[in-house]
Each structure stands twice: as C-alpha cells, then as structure tokens.
Structure 1
Amino acid sequence: MTDTPTQVTGEPGGPGEPSLLLEDQFCFTLYAASRAVTGVYRPLLDAVGLTYPQYLVMLVLWQHRTAPVKDLVATLHLDYGTLTPLIKRLEAGGLLERRRRPDDERVVEVALTPEGAALRERIRTVPPAIGAAVGLSDEEIKTAQDLLRRLTANVARHTSGGGSG
C-alpha cells in the first residue's frame, strides 16, 4: 500500500474523448461566474431590502410600470411557483400591487406602487458597482451578453425539441 492517494486526472482516454476535468466543464464556468456576480449583488441589494430575484422583478417593472404575471414568467425565465412568492413578498413590502386587468379579469398584472417607483432612485448605484466588480470594458460586457443570449436561445431551442439530440 502506498501513502500517495491515487490521482484520477480526468484526461481523455483517447482522441475525441471529452475531458472530465472540472475546470474544462462549460457548465461549471457559467455556474461559478453566476455565483460570483450574484454574490457582488447581495450586499448592495441587502441595503435596500431586496433579494436578487426580487431585483429582477423590479427591473422589469421600472421599465414597464405594469406587467402581466405571464410576461414576467417569460421575461425572467422563472416558473409560476418561483415567481408568485417573490411577487407576494414585494407586495407585502409595499413595492408593488397585484390586480386583475379590467378588460380581461383572467389576466393578473403587477404594478409599481409609489414606494416601488421611488426605490428606483436608491438602486441607481448598483449597476456601476457591479460594472466595477466585473472588471470588463463596456465592449467586453456587450460581447459577453450577446454570447450568453445566443447560448440561452440555442439551449432553449434544443430543449424544446428543436435540437438534434
């Protein structure tokens, strides 16, 4: 018996065989980057009483003032089971209100309250702070966003049956 542990390198066994090294996994690179960036958001959003997912909901509402819940689900890539509790907490905090659309009561909309609209001014320091933490030029950020949007669309197409399997 030896004192040295057996090392499994994860190197491919032959030509064309994929690597099993953690650092070679694209999914891990995305996961680590996402965790790092959302970790920078946490203290900034804590200061105004929002979680990162709540911040995303508020961004949509600051842009549109009102939005059907169905549109929030699609825009934020969340399911109803995840979004509904977020909306309820934001409503309990006085930042938005839910209401049925007068012309179609089947549609539930969320709308900013005056308090929710006012929070927008307090949050203006967040994007520059994130930009500084990311440490990329505006052009690099745009390139990364374009690539990630394309990746998202490709994966969505693939998982909805449009891929080659």
Structure 2
Amino acid sequence: MSRDERGQFDNLILLCPTCHTIIDKAPEDHPEDEILAWKRGHGNRVNGLFGARICETRQEVRNLIVPLLTENAAIHREYNPDLDYSHDPESGVALVWQRNMRERIIPNNRKILALLDVNRALAQDEELATIELFRQHIHDLEAKHYTSTVDGPARRFPDNVPELMR
C-alpha cells in the first residue's frame, strides 16, 4: 500500500500502543493479509456483540430480524402510550412502557439495524430507503428516551420495516 492508502479510513485498525510500535518497526514481519485478517476478525467480533452477522441469503436475515420485530410489536400492543392508561395519572403502565422502550425495544431496534447494515448488499433499492427511515426512527427514540433533548416530533416506525428482506 502507498502511504496515502495506508492513511485511508477504510484501512484503520485500532491497536494497543505496543502492537502498533511492533508493526511499525517491522512491517515486513506482518504482511498486509495478516493485518487485514485481524481487522476482519475484529469487525466480526464487534458485529457479533450487536447480534449482527453477515448472511448469505435474504431469508437468513429475515429469520434473524423477525423475532426481534415480533417482540417489539408485542410490547407496543401491550404498553404503547396511545392506550387508555395515558389518561390515568395514577397508572404505572407509563413507567413499564418507558422501561421496555429503554431495555428492550431500542436495543432490539439497534440489533435489527446492525443486521440490516452488515447485510446491506442483500437489500433491494426500495428497502434501502426504508432502512434509512428506520435509522432516523431509532435516533429519535433514543433522543426521547435516553436524553432530555427532544426537538420536535419523532419519526414514526416505518410501515415497511416488517416487510424487509421478505
């Protein structure tokens, strides 16, 4: 690789200072293929932490996202803020909704998005637009439920998300 190619973002690999020095002092002992393999392995481990893995088929992706979507839908049906309890100031259901949003729905959405992102090549063009709307929906939910910054209406859950990778 040229010096410019080595400095590109796509070539970035995070190493501890010791390993970085070892590689820089003896680059011939660490061929490019070896370092790229480290990078791929690290990327796979990080994706695995979020439940994302590269799939071979659209059906594989779908099989991974449907249980998460199903869980979110069940929670939404049971506790969503549009239900009658929202008019009862003594109801504890709002707290249950907020806890489920932070502990289950938003993390599930992040897992779904991570799966869709690593399998983007399997998505059809019209699905890519839905994925981006879903990304904005997640961003807005996180702003509302994890911060005190709510600046306007939140993007609603895109109707087409349950159809992704069908």
More RCO (CA 8 Å, sep 6+)? 2
- Of Structure 1 and Structure 2, the greater helix share is in 2
Q: TM (normalized to structure 2)?
A: 0.25
Q: TM (normalized to structure 1)?
A: 0.26
